[in-house]
Amino acid sequence: DQQVKQNSPSLSVQEGRISILNCDYTNSMFDYFLWYKKYPAEGPTFLISISSIKDKNEDGRFTVFLNKSAKHLSLHIVPSQPGDSAVYFCAASALSGGGADGLTFGKGTHLIIQP
């Protein structure tokens, strides 16, 4: 049973427009959420995180929104640039594990920025 779901395997967006990547989770114990970006042949790179006490966190062109009641988060990239083309993973963890739970990842969304 997947606890973190990214239902769009791929997303194509025109350069300069907004990219919106979505993620749903089922485990109500999750309280820390992260987005990672991955290029081929490289490990995932941390992008942005949000704790459950917030509903929005912004860092430059990247904003993460958290809707706890819907168990949904989204990553907005504005404006989208060609270098943003990559696979994006949503991940979550529960503080109760003291870090021992590790992160639970979704399957990823392949974002393609069209020129």
Partner 1 sequence: DTGVSQNPRHKITKRGQNVTFRCDPISEHNRLYWYRQTLGQGPEFLTYFQNEAQLEKSRLLSDRFSAERPKGSFSTLEIQRTEQGDSAMYLCASSLAGTGRAPLHFGNGTRLTVT
93 scored as a contact of partner 1 (CB under 8 A)? yes
60 binds partner 1 (CB under 8 A): no
Q: Mapping DSSP to helix (H, G, I), strand (E, B) and coil, where does residue 97 land?
A: helix
Span from 11-19, 68-76, 77-85, 94-102 in contact with partner 1 (CB under 8 A): 94-102
- State which of residues 68, 71, 76, 107 lies at the interface with partner 1 (CB under 8 A): 107
**Does 49 help bind partner 1 (rule: CB under 8 A)?**
yes
Reply yes or no: is the peptide bond before residue 79 cis, omega within 30 of 0.
yes
85 contributes a contact to partner 1 by CB under 8 A: no
68, 52 contact by CB (below 8 A):
yes
CB of 19 to partner 1, least distance (A): 19
**Strand ranges (DSSP E) for the chain?**
4-5, 10-14, 19-25, 32-38, 45-51, 56-59, 62-67, 72-77, 86-93, 104-105, 109-114
From candidates 13, 36, 85, 111, binder to partner 1 by CB under 8 A: 36
Size of the site for partner 1 (CB under 8 A): 28
Q: Does 46 bind partner 1 (CB under 8 A)?
A: yes
Which residue's structure tokens are 């060609």? Answer: 82
